[in-house]
Structure 1
Amino acid sequence: MMESRKTFAIISHPDAGKTTLTEKLLYFGGAIHTAGMVKSKKSARQATSDWMEIEKQRGISVTSSVMQFSYNGYHINILDTPGHQDFSEDTYRTLTAADCAVMLIDAAKGVETQTIKLFEVCRMRGIPIFTFINKMDRDARDPLSLLEELEEVLGIRSCPMNWPIGSGIDFHGIYDREKQHVELFKRSEPNSRRILPVFTNDNGDQEVKSTIGDALYGKLEEDVELLDIAGDPFDKEKVDRGQLTPVFFGSALTNFGVQSFLEYFLDLAPAPAPRESDKGVITPDNNKFSGFIFKIQANMNPAHRDRIAFLRICSGTFTRGMTVQHVRTGKKIKLSQPQQFLAQERNIVEDAYPGDIIGLFDPGTFRIGDTLVEGNTAYTFAGVPHFSPEIFARVRAKDAMKYKQFHKGVEQLTEEGAVQLFTTAGPGADNMIIGVVGQLQLEVFDHRLRAEYGVEVEIHTLGYSLARWVKGDVKLEELNLIQYGGSLLARDREGRPVVLLENDYAERWAKEKNPDVEFVSTSYE
């Protein structure tokens, strides 16, 4: 049962086609019947994985969607993450629930800044990475230069599993290196899949040659020979260690190369892996159920004002209605309404297994990072990281009569991880500071308070750009910090001391003046 589970995240720079690829995978799995594309805000059709109103307006993903489907006997959990860098922390958290990642790259642009950041998180976790080079039906860079960039910029070796025949207007298909056949591309028939053997000196060769032309046929022969001689051979052990990435070429928009990628991926991607806990490694075949909360999302259905906690199952078997231990609180809770998702669509699930993602109705019980276990033996999985925000702002309700709704909304968005909340000494709402990675995250915060809680807010950006959590045996009032705006002492929502700093100079000054104190840029739930 576990071997059939494949749980992965899709990472990319914005506009590389991630949501489109997700939809095509769902389409091949029969989860949706029409593979729509993200269009402008005037379009009536929206991507299956984009559900928040602001996502529909902008044509971007700003939350992680969790979707399940089956294909050829595999049970697949896709974690579709935001590509926009302002929401990178949501992606970081989501990657803790994935066993591997699909890295999507625009064939014309190559490795971009957000791809680098997300790749580094994958590398920290040591998870396998599969690369899909997208948009080959448009103008694209030379494929060999794209492979070189993977090594030079990301420091990972690559093994092309297939090879493109031309690009842009001259894109004619892909060559499967293992199966030694060509999959021909027809621009007028995006869902067609015509496969012919090649390099066998039979009629298939002649048909391929007549279709793609002598020049492209000759170049394909040269490229394949070069890859066989000078390229990295496929090595499953290196793939599993995250040292070698299998590379696939195609076009998600036209559905070309996606099905062959999916079939290879399911054959090569790892099954659910063991997880580190404070009591040692927990293996998936452990007969006691365990899992952890990696995401909380409220108001997925605004009519019901619901709140869902997403749980990654790590071991044992989950059954609907089972009672588990909530390790942080020490309480026993019954899980009676577990759900699985296709974006907004939900189905009650009776049982689930390691690798699966389920949604739990949350009346305010859960926090990101919570561990749930079956039985009386308690342990906690490694925490879900919080990174330093880059923008800080004081926030208050415009209408003081709506403070209760305002406080509830801020608390909710903080528990989701949509913003980080800090408080400074002193009474009243003006001691409340939110931290975000980027400006768009602030806009979503403002939009959701208005749309979901009916609260207009005033947001005053502060001059700080770093948060550093304070570690060390020191009284906070004795910290030597730059006064007059250079730094500010606050606490996070767990009450842990944090220093907000104006810039790198302020951080260096704080470290020099407080040699017995450790200032760290990451905290854990």
Structure 2
Amino acid sequence: MTDIAADAPAVDGPAAERVAAQARRRRTFAVISHPDAGKSTLTEALVLHANAITEAGAIHGKSGRRSTVSDWMDMEKARGISITSTALQFPYATAGQDCVINLLDTPGHADFSEDTYRVLTAVDCAVMLIDAAKGLEPQTLKLFQVCRHRRIPIITVINKWDRPGRDPLELIDEINERIGLRPTPLTWPVGIAGDFKGVLDRRTGNFIRFTRTAGGATAAPEEHLTPEKAHESAGIDWDRAVEESELLEADGADYDRDTFLGCESSPLLFTSAALNFGVNQLLDVLVQIAPPPSGQVSVEGTRRPPAAPFSAFVFKVQAGMDSSHRDRIAYARVCSGTFERGEVLTHATTGKPFVTKYAQSVFGRERTTLDTAWPGDVIGLANANALRPGDTLYRDIPVVYPPIPSFSPEYFSVARGKDPSKHKQFRRGIEQLEQEGVVQVLRSDRRGDQAPVLAAVGPMQFEVATHRMASELSAPIELESLPYTVARVIDPKDAEFMQRQHSTEVMTRTDGVMLALFSTKWRLEGFQRDNPDIELGSLVAAADD
């Protein structure tokens, strides 16, 4: 746990001071939510307001609007949902603070929760997005538990205030009661849900009035009014906002930095990402209060400070970003020191040297050559075939960061190539999908190498695997569903006995872990009652905290 880890020895000198200064400029955060809460739309709005793009795209393809920069896969464009996480880096300056934002957009759908979990290992803060009409939803609750477990501070955003929704005080009570996180609103809506006029800035007492733009494609103009002029402009809506803000103050619901960083309270803002209302305020809050990088904790429990020699860990591998080049990008979070393109690092898993000739800055699917990076930055390492999620890279002083666990799969299907003549492409494609973490791959002597079993947290992972095998890897596959729903780790010495059990199959994951697959959780419970001497280990469940 990061809050009890000891610090590794500090590194001093002018170079270390320069690294520390650069680290203080970084804000690295993820946007998390239940599906359809507006996460990718908010990501697009943040990039727009930071002037990193000139016009916001659309998730569902409104006429004349392009797609969003974060949802670039064909399936994402067609379905209007995020299937894979995306990194976006851009500069942003406000009130004399010049920062570099590393924004990670995550899949909201539960089937891709493993990808979201990997991203949450690489951030210092999370923006939790809540639909104004629906409040807390199941996937939001699960992701909050992950953040709590990893001690990640959360900024809450209630989105879609331009549509009919629930009472704001009711939403705040729900957050407090259901997850035990005390909301401390920084802005408060002027106008009920569905009639969003602007927000009361509780820090200044002023009214920030928004003006709609055509389709929300450009930044919404905003006007800052004093309380007197606010009353003239918004009338009873302003008076109601002031009254409710005073109730919050009387209840002690004001921002407190210590409880925010201690994951006991959550600063809260109201937005309409689709209209770009309230987005500037969120960007400013991220710069002002989100924590900068403070160092990463190693497997030994010591925190490597940002000013220590270079280190980074890989949290994601992605291929298929450029149809004209079949390269793979390993996304790595810089934890300490200065990254210089071309230098030779050590791959902690193998102990072998790793040359960083092809380092890139990633903005969605767009990539540019990267020469230097600092703690908190996300870098893309191209053609990094040796890297896997959870791997550590370092220079000079060795360090190993904790591995990223694989979730317990609940869906299993046999994969077979449709074209026997493409057995090499089939084998390479399955291997690539596994290395990226799209699916887990299980094998056994019984089924053979040409019939691996794909294991997934959710069935949509199979759809992604099937689509990519056909479109990117030119090796179409067909899937045969298997009647298993539970997997447990077993000792190899028990494999022969387990294989003889009814409704059970033993398979080996590519990393060497041996799994027993059970048809149902009741079958598992019955086996455990009948065979108490057989030890069965659990994998990380998608809903575990």
Match of 2:482 among 443, 448, 462: 462
How far is the alpha carbon of 1:42 from its aligned partner?
8.2
Q: Which residue of 1 aligns with 2:386?
A: 365
Q: Which residue of 2 aligns with 1:252?
A: 273
Match status 1:194 vs 2:214: no
Q: Which residue of 2 aligns with 1:52?
A: 73
How far is the alpha carbon of 1:240 from its aligned partner?
0.8
Q: Judge conservation of contact 1:482–1:509 (CA < 8 Å) in 2.
A: no
1:238–1:74: structure 2 CA closer, same or farther, 3 Å change rule? same
1:287-298 to structure 2, matched below 5 A, reads 287-298=308-319
Say which is worse superposed, 244-253 or 281-290, in terms of deviation: 281-290
Q: Which residue of 1 aligns with 2:494?
A: 476
3-state SS in 2 of match to 1:209: helix
3-state SS in 1 of match to 2:442: strand
1:457 and 1:294 map into 2 onto residues whose CA distance is: 28
Q: TM-score, normalised by structure 1?
A: 0.93
Q: Which amino acid aligns with 1:383?
A: P
Match of 2:539 among 507, 517, 521: 521
Q: What is the percentage of aligned positions where both structures have the same residue? A: 41
1:235-281 CA-to-partner distances (Å, cap 9, x unmatched) read: 21111121111100011111111101110121100111322213442
1:193-241 CA-to-partner distances (Å, cap 9, x unmatched) read: 111121xxxxxx1x3223222x323322321221110143322111112
3-state SS in 1 of match to 2:173: helix
1:323 and 1:475 map into 2 onto residues whose CA distance is: 41
Match status 1:209 vs 2:231: yes
How far is the alpha carbon of 1:516 from its aligned partner?
5.3
2:535 and 2:62 map into 1 onto residues whose CA distance is: 50
Match status 1:122 vs 2:147: yes
1:194 and 1:44 map into 2 onto residues whose CA distance is: 26
Q: Judge conservation of contact 2:311–2:399 (CA < 8 Å) in 1.
A: no
1:408 and 1:313 map into 2 onto residues whose CA distance is: 30
2:308 and 2:458 map into 1 onto residues whose CA distance is: 43
1:427 and 1:212 map into 2 onto residues whose CA distance is: 69
Match of 1:108 among 129, 133, 147: 133
3-state SS in 2 of match to 1:301: coil
Match status 1:135 vs 2:160: yes
Q: Which residue of 2 aligns with 1:7?
A: 28
3-state SS in 2 of match to 1:366: coil
1:219–1:363: structure 2 CA closer, same or farther, 3 Å change rule? closer
3-state SS in 1 of match to 2:334: strand
Q: Which amino acid aligns with 1:491?
A: T
Q: Which amino acid aligns with 1:196?
A: L
Q: TM-score, normalised by structure 2?
A: 0.90
Say which is worse superposed, 41-50 or 295-304, in terms of deviation: 41-50
Match of 1:171 among 196, 215, 223: 196
Q: Which residue of 2 aligns with 1:89?
A: 114
More contact order relative to length (CA 8 Å, sep ≥ 6): 2
2:63 and 2:451 map into 1 onto residues whose CA distance is: 41
1:392 and 1:279 map into 2 onto residues whose CA distance is: 35
3-state SS in 2 of match to 1:385: coil
Q: Judge conservation of contact 2:343–2:357 (CA < 8 Å) in 1.
A: yes
Q: Judge conservation of contact 2:498–2:506 (CA < 8 Å) in 1.
A: no
3-state SS in 2 of match to 1:519: coil
Match status 1:29 vs 2:46: no
3-state SS in 2 of match to 1:170: coil
Q: Judge conservation of contact 2:189–2:270 (CA < 8 Å) in 1.
A: yes
1:483 and 1:231 map into 2 onto residues whose CA distance is: 59
1:188 and 1:313 map into 2 onto residues whose CA distance is: 38
1:271–1:482: structure 2 CA closer, same or farther, 3 Å change rule? farther
Match status 1:497 vs 2:497: no
How far is the alpha carbon of 1:436 from its aligned partner?
1.1
Q: Which residue of 2 aligns with 1:415?
A: 435
What residue ranges of structure 2 are gaps of 5+ in the alignment? Answer: 1-21
1:104 and 1:139 map into 2 onto residues whose CA distance is: 17
Q: Judge conservation of contact 1:138–1:167 (CA < 8 Å) in 2.
A: no
2:194 and 2:258 map into 1 onto residues whose CA distance is: 38
Q: Which residue of 2 aligns with 1:202?
A: none
Q: Judge conservation of contact 2:342–2:356 (CA < 8 Å) in 1.
A: yes
1:477–1:41: structure 2 CA closer, same or farther, 3 Å change rule? farther
1:96-141 CA-to-partner distances (Å, cap 9, x unmatched) read: 0111100011111111111111111111101100011111111110
2:80 and 2:63 map into 1 onto residues whose CA distance is: 10
Q: Which residue of 2 aligns with 1:429?
A: 449
1:379–1:470: structure 2 CA closer, same or farther, 3 Å change rule? farther
3-state SS in 2 of match to 1:253: helix
How many residue pairs get aligned? The number is: 512
How far is the alpha carbon of 1:511 from its aligned partner?
3.1
1:212-227 to structure 2, matched below 5 A, reads 212-213=234-235, 215-227=236-248
3-state SS in 2 of match to 1:264: helix
3-state SS in 1 of match to 2:275: coil
What residue ranges of structure 1 are gaps of 5+ in the alignment? Answer: 199-204
1:81 and 1:169 map into 2 onto residues whose CA distance is: 27
Q: Judge conservation of contact 2:498–2:505 (CA < 8 Å) in 1.
A: no
